[in-house]
Amino acid sequence: MSKQQFQTEVNQLLQLIVHSLYSHPEIFLRELISNSSDALDKLRYLTLTDEKYKALVGKGIEPPRIDLELDEANKTLSVSDTGIGMNEEDLVSHLGTIARSGTKNFLAQLSGDARKDSNLIGQFGVGFYSVFMVADKVEVVSRKAGEEKTFKWTSDGKTGFDIEEVPGADARDSAGTRVLIHFNDEGSQYANGWRLTEIVKKYSNHIEFPIFLTHDKSEWNAEKKESIKTRTTEQVNAASAMWQRPKSDLKDDDYKEFYKSITGDWEDPLFWFHTRAEGTLEYTTLFYIPAKAPLDLYQADYKGGVKLYVKRVFIMDDSKDLLPQYLRFVRGIIDSEDLPLNVSREILQQNKVLTNIKTASVKKILSELKAIATNDPGKYLQFIAEYNRPLKEGLYGDFANRETLLDLIRFKSSKVDGLTSLAEAKERMQPDQKALYYITGTSESMLRNSPLLEIYKKKGIEVLLLDDDIDEIVFSSIAKFGDIDLKAVSKSATSEDLKDDSAPDKAEEIKPLLEKIKATLGDAVKEVRASSRLADSPSVIVSDEDEPSARMRQMMQAMGQKDLPELKPTLEINPDHEIIRKLLVDTRNTKVEDAAWLLFDQALLLEGVPLEDPTTFVQRLNRVLNESI
């Protein structure tokens, strides 16, 4: 017998699950049945595609099924399957460690809110450990398909686990896994056949494999006029590929049940899209949008939730080739009639059938979202609250659907409360407005108070506020929305749109000061010029159309790009500002040099750019304060 310790994260996880999820311990059965279904899926796929496993059918591999066997007297429940099974190495890696880096995030997110935390279990793939909410001892007996040895894993869920080889008569004679649960006081409520049947129907009714329950059943004996217990075995789930049934035969509750059975989510989905395509290609898709974005959606090891089936045979899940990365939050299934059963991940990347299915599926999802945005704006805003940012990622790579995505994304605005669409902003354009304008930055409050917005506010022109960290990257590559230009207010050329040709040109009047400031700042700036975009602030920095902004440059550096050209923004000066008017009195005054740097540094700070030399900035500021007091 081999005694081993749990991985540190597993110890933490067990404690938190047992103490956090006490309100919904019934999920243990959902998780165990889900694991059995996965094991059956894997083995069925191998027996159809791998000669080694084809030869084992009937000789070490039994027909696919899941069995629940209840012993009420001893308060035990076994959950068995005829799936792929596990050897000693598998038992250690699957039941003693958690390989995903997202586990630490999972641990950090557990809140003590049972409903919320039980949803996290499914998201992070750690559902097996939920069994310790209802058990004080668990035994897992398993034999891997194609191997001769059977192993037993035993644990109380507290310190570690034992693994031993099961000898002779006690060993399994076919592949599969049996989980034997010894119920604790909390779990004894589940030592009841009726209760187990209800849980299976609630969470696992649409698991494709038959689930049988063996238990004692009381029946009335009319002759003896007494209740007699009999041992009975009955199938307790529908065991159908639900997505293959006609939509007319399905109710909303059917869709919701199936969603929960494949995701482990407690909440109903926001909406779903069920499509059956016939003709050149035959396939069925059933896609769900979860009500809440997964907490690990932006982690590198996030696994997508779309499963691929071929003729109702599970092939794989979490493949990045099933849907584009920006739709990774979509859950559900794709079932093709035209793909080969032995399709591999490598083949998928070049398979024309899947490419066509993927293209059509993306268009279907986006068109359905567009319809919801039109017909049910309130529900759509619930979606946007969770998934606006992933849709923005699509703008960067999905050029074929860029216009649709631009329609779907929502924006904060300088002119209206809440969120708005580009189409709505376009309808609000001023008669002489030349483009739709936007500003990017790190926070909404900073953007609303940016000097770059002053002239737009004065003229009543709307500016879209883009405060997501990816906005700078995404929107810098998008020039138009339909036939309307999209322009960043931080670009130097934008000021030409706002120029009032009837107003006097004050650039000549302050030319000596501009030259003095440029001479003082030297190579720190590309140019110093009079601004037509400022109303209340003395200065602002802008960049040319073909140059990265100061914030973009910061982001590129953070992503590891070292050999970037030195930042040389253009400094624009407000000719009408009181500070500028005072500096014009005597451009030879030594105060102008300090003022020039302060005007530049404060413009950088307002743009969200950290100063390279804050000590010198403070010294200049102190000199100016000292002279002004």
The two counts, helices (H) then strands (E), for the chain are: 22, 22
How do strand 484-488 and strand 436-440 relate by DSSP bridges? parallel
Return the closest-CA partner of residue 127 out of 256, 22, 43, 34: 34
- DSSP conformation class of 429: -
Band (pLDDT 50/70/90 cuts) for residue 81 is: very high
Higher pLDDT among residues 594 and 113, named by residue:
594
What's the mean pLDDT in 600-610? 87
Instruction: Give the per-residue pLDDT at 17.
Output: 66
Is residue 532 scored above 70 in pLDDT? yes
What's the mean pLDDT in 32-46? 91
Q: Among 10-14, 102-106, 131-135, where is mean pLDDT lowest?
A: 102-106
Instruction: Give the per-residue pLDDT at 21.
Output: 53
DSSP 58-109: TTTBPPP-EEEEEETTTTEEEEEE-SS---HHHHHHHHS----THHHHHHHH
The string of pLDDT tens digits covering residues 177-200 is 999 999 999 899 999 999 999 999
Between CA 77 and CA 326 the distance in angstroms is 42
Between CA 371 and CA 407 the distance in angstroms is 11
Between CA 201 and CA 190 the distance in angstroms is 15
Look at phi and psi of residue 542 and say left if phi exceeds 0, alpha if psi is from -120 to 50, else beta.
beta
What's the mean pLDDT in 97-109? 55
Q: Please report, as a single letter, which amino acid is at residue 259.
A: Y
Higher pLDDT among residues 89 and 266, named by residue:
89
Which positions ≥6 away from 58 have C-beta within 8 Å?
A: none
The string of pLDDT tens digits covering residues 43-80 is 999 998 888 998 888 888 899 999 999 999 999 999 99
What's the mean pLDDT in 460-484? 91
For residue 378, give the 3-state DSSP assignment. helix
Instruction: Give the per-residue pLDDT at 300.
Output: 75
Instruction: Give the per-residue pLDDT at 123.
Output: 47
The string of pLDDT tens digits covering residues 236-284 is 998 888 898 889 999 999 999 889 888 878 899 999 999 999 888 999 9
How do strand 283-289 and strand 271-277 relate by DSSP bridges? antiparallel
Is residue 464 scored above 80 in pLDDT? yes
Is residue 555 scored above 50 in pLDDT? yes
What's the mean pLDDT in 488-500? 76
Q: How many residues does the chain have?
A: 629
Domains of the chain and CATH, by start:
2-240 (3.30.565.10), 243-389 (3.30.230.80), 503-543+566-605+613-629 (1.20.120.790)
Binding-site positions read 31, 35, 81, 86, 101-102, 123-128, 177, 345
Give percent above pLDDT 70 in the chain: 86
Instruction: Give the per-residue pLDDT at 548.
Output: 65
Higher pLDDT among residues 561 and 446, named by residue:
446
What's the mean pLDDT in 542-548? 76
Q: Decide if 326 contacts 397 (C-beta within 8 A).
A: yes
Beta pairing partners, 61: 57
Averaged pLDDT of the chain: 86
195's enclosing H/E stretch is helix 193-203
Q: Among 119-133, 137-151, 204-218, 564-578, where is mean pLDDT lowest?
A: 119-133
DSSP 446-494: HHHT-GGGHHHHHHT--EEEE-STTHHHHHTT--EETTEEEEETTBGGG
Which positions ≥6 away from 476 have C-beta within 8 Å?
A: 488, 548, 549, 552
Q: Among 30-39, 287-296, 501-510, where is mean pLDDT lowest?
A: 501-510
Between CA 61 and CA 394 the distance in angstroms is 45
Longest dimension (CA), the chain: 119
The string of pLDDT tens digits covering residues 317-363 is 767 788 999 999 999 999 998 887 766 666 777 788 888 999 999 99
Is residue 115 scored above 60 in pLDDT? no
Count of alpha carbons within 13 Å of 34, Cβ hemisphere only? Answer: 24
Is residue 315 scored above 90 in pLDDT? no
How do strand 135-143 and strand 176-183 relate by DSSP bridges? antiparallel
Please state the three-class secondary structure of 256-289 as a single string: HHHHHHHHCCCCCCCEEEEEEECCCCCEEEEEEE
Give the pair of three-digit tokens for residue 173.
């004679």
Band (pLDDT 50/70/90 cuts) for residue 111 is: low
Band (pLDDT 50/70/90 cuts) for residue 176 is: very high
Q: Decide if 119 contacts 264 (C-beta within 8 A).
A: yes
What's the mean pLDDT in 288-306? 85
Is residue 474 scored above 60 in pLDDT? yes
Is residue 119 scored above 60 in pLDDT? no
Instruction: Give the per-residue pLDDT at 126.
Output: 57
338's enclosing H/E stretch is none
Query: In 408-450, at which residue ranges do the beta strands (DSSP E only) sit?
Result: 412-413, 436-440
Instruction: Give the per-residue pLDDT at 113.
Output: 56
Band (pLDDT 50/70/90 cuts) for residue 502 is: low
Instruction: Give the per-residue pLDDT at 101.
Output: 44
Binding-site positions for ATP read 31, 35, 81, 86, 101-102, 123-128, 177, 345
Instruction: Give the per-residue pLDDT at 324.
Output: 92
Sheet of 570-573: strands edge to edge? 527-530, 570-573, 539-542
Is residue 480 scored above 60 in pLDDT? yes
Between CA 494 and CA 206 the distance in angstroms is 58
Q: Please report, as a single letter, which amino acid is at residue 46.
A: L
Is 0.85 surpassed by the pTM of this model? no
